[in-house]
Amino acid sequence: MKNTFENGILTIFPEDSIDTNNAEAVGAEIAAIRAEHPEGKLVLDMDDLRYISSAGLRQILKLKKKEKDFAIINCSSEVYEIFEMTGFAEMMDISKGFRKMSVEGCEVIGEGSNGIVYRLNPDTIIKVYKHADALEDIKRERDLARRALVMGINTAIPFDVVKVGDKYGSVFELLSAKSLTKLIVAEPENREKYVKVFADMLKEIHETDVKEGLLPSAKAETMRRIEWLKDHLPQKTYEKLHKMVEDIPESNKMIHGDYHTNNVHYANGEAILIDMDTLSTGNPVFEFSSIYLAFRGFGELDHKGVEDFLMIDWDNAQYILEKLFDFYFEGKDAAYKEDVLHKAMVLGYARVLRRTIKRKPDAKEEIEYYRKQLIEYVDKVDSLAI
């Protein structure tokens, strides 16, 4: 019988069925494995178990009496129903498994640092998280999406958690909606209309008041990133950058945090926001710094950086960025919009410099480019708040 012992938890994986024919033997095998690892929690992972009879239940009851810390996980609906009908689910820690799904052949409609979003069918999408232990992240994103919806933001709400291979996915209903990226590519004659939708949704997000403490502070996260750069920048640059971020007033206005055209979908005249795990509060400059990176910053050295991220060509990306500024800052002159862009570039370059140093420490040319750009634009601005 397969088993693992990690972080003080012994996990045993029963297979096929436990019935009259093998219950005693299964019980003895579990006891032998337990004798090899007598300390810590015991977990039975029932992912590969199809059936358990009353004889098997008696073996489970014996384990429950012996074990102080004991749990059963990943039960199929059929096995869990047996535990529930017999009262076992009330007397011990027993949880259902996750529905298994495949994304083979599915269209990729977006990708971020945490996961890849696939279109399962015309009505449904699934976000598959890149790291295997993502249940806490999924719970957090579900909570954030619900909070945003309550506050009036039209967002897709996840309704199921599933397994995709060895990873977890969150399933959303998104009825026949297409991303603004797809629509801009498919309907070039309407791209101005779709960028206006993009800008209007962003304004709606930034006008939304959030109760204090309900969402994390974008400023606090940015300060951590800036402080990490202390040993990678000239002292004068670092001190000015740190002071400018420190001087940005806190705000209770909502920020999406990963706002680009793959994360805004459109159907029946309505924009729908997805990918809510970066939701926070703060000054709009924090939002525009990530927008700058998505549409321009990631592709300054190689346009493929933007094209691969957004799944859109460089020229369209530049058009969207420029038109977004025109619509969002309607009535402001060119000098004002350029100043906002420079502020966004400062925080964008700080973010991508830190990321490049951490992920690609040998990419000297790339690191030096972003360091030089950050130093140059820190000199150009005297404050960062918009």
Which range (123-132, 182-191, 240-249) has the least confidence?
Answer: 123-132
Backbone region of residue 249 per phi and psi (left: phi > 0; alpha: psi in -120 to 50; beta: other values): beta
Q: Average of pLDDT values for 93-117?
A: 88
Q: How many domains does the chain have?
A: 3
Q: Could you give the CA distance from residue 369 to residue 301 in angstroms, rounded to a whole number?
A: 8
Q: What is the pTM of this model?
A: 0.79
In a domain, 164, yes or no: yes
Residue whose entry in the numeric block shows the structure tokens 């050295």: 301
For 32-80, how does the pLDDT look when each residue is reduced to its tens digit (9 = 90+)?
Answer: 999 999 989 999 999 999 999 999 999 999 999 999 899 999 998 899 9
Which of 78, 97, 116 represents a domain boundary (last residue)?
Answer: 97
Q: Which of 42, 66, 97 is the last residue of a domain?
A: 97
300 and 269 share one domain: yes
Residue 299 CA neighbour count, 13 Å, CB half: 21
DSSP 359: H
The pLDDT of residue 264 is above 80: yes
Nearest to 171 by CA among 158, 153, 190: 158
Which CATH number goes with the domain that contains 201?
Answer: 3.90.1200.10
Distance of CA 184 to the CA centre of its chain: 24
Domain presence at residue 291: yes
The proportion of the chain whose per-residue pLDDT surpasses 90, expressed as a percent, equals 80
Tell me, yes or no, whether 92 and 111 share the same domain. Answer: no
CB 276, CB 306: distance < 8 Å = no
Q: Are residues 368 and 223 in the same domain?
A: yes
Q: Would you say residue 261 lies in a domain?
A: yes
126-145 per-position pLDDT tens digit: 999 998 778 888 888 888 88
Is 293 inside any structural domain? Answer: yes
State how far the Cα of 253 lies from the Cα of 43, in Å rounded to an integer.
Answer: 44
CATH number at residue 71: 3.30.750.24
Structure tokens at 132: 């295997």
Residue where a domain terminates, one of 74, 97, 120: 97
Same domain, 149 and 57: no
Same domain, 119 and 55: no
CATH of the domain at 154: 3.30.200.20
Whether residues 45 and 75 share a domain: the answer is yes
Q: Residues 44, 61: one domain? A: yes
Residues making up the chain, counted from first to last: 386
User: Does 244 lie in the same domain as 126?
Assistant: no
Domain membership of residue 385 (yes or no) is no
Looking at the fold, whether 67 and 14 belong to one and the same domain comes out as yes
Q: 158 with 267, same domain?
A: no
Residues 122, 47: Cα–Cα separation, whole Å: 30
Q: What is the pLDDT of residue 141?
A: 85
Domain that holds residue 9: 2-97
Taking residue 328's Cβ as centre, other Cβ atoms within 10 Å add up to 21
Provide the CB-side half-sphere exposure for 95 (13 A, CA). 11
Q: What is the mean pLDDT of residues 288-310?
A: 96
Strand residues in 150-263 grouped as ranges (E): 158-164, 167-173, 178-179, 254-255
Tokens of 240: 């000015």
Q: Is the pLDDT of residue 121 over 80?
A: yes
Judge whether 386 lies within some domain: no
Residue 102 placed within a domain: no
- Predicted confidence (pLDDT) at residue 329 exceeds the cutoff of 80: yes
In this structure, the answer to whether residues 217 and 347 fall within a common structural domain is: yes
| 10-35: pLDDT as tens digits | 999 999 999 999 999 999 999 999 99
- Give the model's confidence band at 114: pLDDT under 50 very low, under 70 low, under 90 confident, else very high: confident
User: What does the DSSP 8-state code read for residue 250?
Assistant: P
Query: Is residue 365 in a domain?
Result: yes
Backbone torsions φ then ψ of 4, nearest 5 degrees: -135, 155
What is the C-alpha end-to-end distance of the chain, expressed in Å?
61
Average pLDDT over all residues of the chain: 94
For residues 154 and 257, membership in a common domain is answered with no
